[in-house]
Structure 1
Amino acid sequence: MSINLSKGQRIDLTKTNPGLTKVVLGLGWDTNKYSGGAEFDLDASAFLLYEDGKAKSEEDFVFYNHLKAYNGAVEHTGDNRTGEGDGDDEQIKIDFSRIPSHIHRIGITVTIHEAESRSQNFGQVSNAFVRLVDEASGREVLRYDLGEDFSVETAIVFCEVYRQGADWKFQAIGSGFSGGLAALVRNYGLS
């Protein structure tokens, strides 16, 4: 049975699910019909963060042009440029056993590609969610539906998975940014 989370909630992953080492974060969304004529292209990314909450190099940033970090410890399965269809629009896989010890937190984000030039924002996006699936069994462990709380934002931190001692936990974030991917990159310490 999957657990539905609300904004800000935290949940144990590995302590309450012994043997959970490989997970798939499925991210999905729909776009409203009032798009202004341009196609929507939403992009999932992962920021691998040190203890200070910052990424240190391009190796710590996984997205459609850099699909793997740390020999596959975090892997983006590929860019979906339309978001058409049901289910996950993009996925990020994490193998907790391969995450280097200096990485303490992984921020999972979604941005709208060329949002400014296309006059698009998350006010035009609905049914956004992230779900965490046990890769070995295919069982959905948890789900966080973001709701319709956004208007002018062009980037959202959906969630974070983070290390606490030997265990990994999940936090539903749902925090929006204006300024798209560039704002997120700066927020997480990259230029």
Structure 2
Amino acid sequence: MHLSRGQKLSIRDLIPNGSVSITIDYYPTDIDIAAFSLDKDHKIKDDRYTILFSNRQSPDNSIALTLHEGKAIFTIDIDRLPTTIDRIIFTATHDIHAIGKARKLEVTVGQQAGTYNAKEDLTTEKAVMMIALYRHQNAWRIGTIGQGFNGGLAALITHFGGEIAAPPPPSSSPSPTSNPVPPRLNLNKITLEAKQSISLTKTAPTFGEIKINLNWSRGSSARRGFFGKISSNKAVDLDLGCLYVLKNGEKSVVQALGKSFGHFDRKPYIKLLGDDRTGDVNTGETILINGKFFDEIEKIAIFAYIYDGVPNWNETNGVVTLTVPEQPPLEVRMTQGNNNKTMCGIAVIDNHNGQMKVSRLVEYFRDHEEFAKSVNIFLRWVSARKN
């Protein structure tokens, strides 16, 4: 069933029994998807029930989120939800671009029981309320909304009675207040700026599955880009890779060149999942790091290189995202490219006594060897090809 904007119906007309599943398929993959649980006044009462990339399940597990590249799947046990939750609003936001320009933003209720194109009728909104799951006369209903805010995430949070968390200003002592403090939500990715570093501490016995993703624009008028078309004379084959040094002194490279794809369950515990030769793969290129064995890793230096095509970094719109479970994603944008060089050193991950220190580079080099020397990893290099 195709759902139109403003349509309302009983959730049990679509899903006769059991938990409710809401799936959002979206592109580009840097759109942020969230579910806001609100009280009868349509305000956030308990931010632990705000479900998104940094908080993927509620305390009682009545709401859970599974994330894949370009897909968010919410599972809601409506019979277990606290009575204080009157409705759940499912939203999409982007930091820069209008959501209406997204290539895809589709909501599916159940197993294709109902679908809604959430970007229809949007114009300049950077944040959109897509659908609502809400109580009505002791039953649950679903309603499509399709309305948003030009102000993006900040306007959305304010509308729900909350505010985005920010570091507190320095103060010798806390100032008392008689006003209730609105919920403070840490919803933002962390975008690393020039020479910035950040350290991540384990929130579990291990870091889990660490994901490094490169997404980029092909640089051809036939290429979709992030939110539009990019023109160039020749498509660029941009590849993701990394250098690594293990605690035992072993060091090498993981990349498509030379088919050095690595391994996830054995040394080096780093694996490149595939090679996107065109840039047309929606998920881009991904390296997985087995965080269970992070203590055996000394250093990882992440890079991207142009294997084929004229170097034109400004047209690639390259974005590398580092995702660690239960941590805010770290994003590095490949800006101010040097078009005379084919190698971009993106970031370095260091193991500092079990902590993960991520440092932004975004420096450009003529080849692998020059980059490796800049991060103090010395290897013997030979020429190689993909085929």
What's the TM-score bracket when you normalise by the shorter of the two chains? 0.7 to 0.9
TM-score (norm 1): 0.77
Q: Does 1:24 align with 2:24?
A: no
The one-letter code of the counterpart of 1:160 is: A
Unaligned runs of 5+ in 2: 164-387
Q: 1:90 — aligned with what?
A: 72
Query: Are residues 19 and 121 of structure 1, via their aligned partners in 2, closer, same or farther at CA, if it must alter by over 3 Å?
Result: closer
Distance between the aligned counterparts of 2:119 and 2:44, measured in 1?
Answer: 28
Structure number with higher relative contact order (C-alpha < 8 Å, ≥ 6 residues apart): 1
Distance between the aligned counterparts of 2:31 and 2:2, measured in 1?
Answer: 23
Q: 1:107 — aligned with what?
A: 89
Unaligned runs of 5+ in 1: 32-39, 84-88, 134-138
- Of 137, 151, 154 in structure 1, the residue corresponding to residue 123 of structure 2 is 151
Q: Detail structure 1 runs of 4+ shifted over 6 Å in the superposition.
A: none
Query: Are residues 79 and 42 of structure 1, via their aligned partners in 2, closer, same or farther at CA, if it must alter by over 3 Å?
Result: farther
Larger Rg: 2
Distance between the aligned counterparts of 1:184 and 1:79, measured in 2?
Answer: 24
Distance between the aligned counterparts of 2:20 and 2:157, measured in 1?
Answer: 24
The one-letter code of the counterpart of 2:153 is: L
Q: Contact (CA 8 Å) 2:100, 2:119: kept in 1 or not? A: no
- For the residue of structure 2 that corresponds to 1:59, the secondary structure is helix
Query: Are residues 18 and 150 of structure 1, via their aligned partners in 2, closer, same or farther at CA, if it must alter by over 3 Å?
Result: closer
**C-alpha displacement at 1:17, in angstroms?**
5.8
**C-alpha displacement at 1:189, in angstroms?**
1.2
Q: 2:6 — aligned with what?
A: 8
Distance between the aligned counterparts of 1:170 and 1:157, measured in 2?
Answer: 13
- For the residue of structure 1 that corresponds to 2:36, the secondary structure is strand
Distance between the aligned counterparts of 1:58 and 1:18, measured in 2?
Answer: 27
Distance between the aligned counterparts of 1:190 and 1:178, measured in 2?
Answer: 17
Distance between the aligned counterparts of 2:158 and 2:68, measured in 1?
Answer: 22
Distance between the aligned counterparts of 2:41 and 2:91, measured in 1?
Answer: 18
Query: Are residues 163 and 70 of structure 1, via their aligned partners in 2, closer, same or farther at CA, if it must alter by over 3 Å?
Result: farther
Distance between the aligned counterparts of 2:61 and 2:50, measured in 1?
Answer: 12
Q: 1:165 — aligned with what?
A: 137
- For the residue of structure 2 that corresponds to 1:184, the secondary structure is helix
The aligned runs of 1:47-66 (5 Å cut-off) are: 47-66=36-55
Distance between the aligned counterparts of 2:15 and 2:47, measured in 1?
Answer: 32
Q: Contact (CA 8 Å) 1:7, 1:172: kept in 2 or not? A: yes
1:52-74 CA-partner distances (Å, limit 9, x unpaired): 11112321311111111141111
Query: Are residues 167 and 70 of structure 1, via their aligned partners in 2, closer, same or farther at CA, if it must alter by over 3 Å?
Result: farther
**What root-mean-square deviation, in Å, do the aligned CA atoms of Structure 1 and Structure 2 show?**
1.9
**C-alpha displacement at 1:150, in angstroms?**
2.2
The one-letter code of the counterpart of 1:48 is: S
Q: 2:106 — aligned with what?
A: 129
- For the residue of structure 1 that corresponds to 2:121, the secondary structure is coil
- For the residue of structure 1 that corresponds to 2:54, the secondary structure is coil
The one-letter code of the counterpart of 1:10 is: K
Q: Does 1:177 align with 2:149?
A: yes
The one-letter code of the counterpart of 2:148 is: G
Query: Are residues 187 and 79 of structure 1, via their aligned partners in 2, closer, same or farther at CA, if it must alter by over 3 Å?
Result: farther
Q: Contact (CA 8 Å) 2:49, 2:57: kept in 1 or not? A: no
**C-alpha displacement at 1:180, in angstroms?**
2.1
Identity of aligned residues (%): 28
The one-letter code of the counterpart of 1:111 is: T
TM-score (norm 2): 0.40
Distance between the aligned counterparts of 1:45 and 1:28, measured in 2?
Answer: 13
Q: Does 1:67 align with 2:67?
A: no
**C-alpha displacement at 1:147, in angstroms?**
4.5
**C-alpha displacement at 1:155, in angstroms?**
0.9
Distance between the aligned counterparts of 1:30 and 1:69, measured in 2?
Answer: 26
